[in-house]
Amino acid sequence: MGKDNSANHKKRNVKHPLKQCHSGENRNPCLSLSYEKSRGNLDTGFRRYDKADVDKSVKAGSSAPAGFLDRDGTVIFDKNYLSSPDRVKVYTGAAESINKLRKAGFKIIIVTNQSGIARGMITEKELAAVNKRFISLLKKQGASIDGLYYCPHIDEDNCSCRKPKTGMVMRAAKEHNIDLSKSYTVGDHIRDYMLGSNMGGKGLFVLTGHGKGQQKKLKKEKIQPFAVCKTIKQAAEKILKDNGK
């Protein structure tokens, strides 16, 4: 999620999420809007977990690799604090890329920083509507995801979930039996690459969204992602090739 540079965005009187919810471990929990298969449909709803909830959600069986995808600027066009479902537009090739990864055995998890909530630019209700539209558009193109997690905080909140911190991927690993060491992150920000490194997997950087601007920072700071790709389609191809598929 990039900084708001639109004159149309005005800060609203929205309650800060940290003041609305409480975790048994701390007052800075990661929120998730988790889309999971339930009775053949995608069940949408806000779920707040504390540490005990996460631990209880571990499932039996072997762990699978995952593709942790950023939302804005990676799978859909970044519209700066997107609050209207009508403005959601999926990148060409994104649905196809998701399908290829899922067929290769990867679970697809969306992990997205949504600081617009803490900033009062968007509400949780608006975010839910946007995500519902996002999921619907993917479905129309024959693609589906295994989960979606978001962080509503800003850096100053010092939460454990805002990328590049690993709160969201750690929760997803517990809830979806994911092997993080065999997993990848894909996004248009340095934060996305760093997330991949921090979780013990590999991070890929795409040049869509804020990618070209962020690429200058990559070079300046001499950061070397696993791969720099033009689009999510190329990123998916790199991941499959890295796995001999």
Q: Give per-residue pLDDT as tens, 189-229.
A: 999 989 999 999 999 999 998 888 788 877 777 778 899 99
Residue of 24 and 172 predicted with greater confidence: 172
Q: Which residues are catalytic?
A: 70, 72
Q: What is the pLDDT of residues 55-73, one digit of tens each?
A: 333 344 469 999 999 999 9
> In the chain, where does DSSP find H-type helix?
51-56, 94-103, 116-119, 124-140, 167-176, 190-198, 211-220, 232-242
Bridge partners, 32 (sequence order): 47
pLDDT in tens, 3-52: 443 334 445 444 433 333 222 233 334 444 443 332 223 333 333 223 33
Q: Which fold has domain 17-49+60-242?
A: Rossmann fold (3.40.50)
Q: What is the pTM of this model?
A: 0.78
Contact at 8 Å (CB) between 175 and 57?
Answer: yes
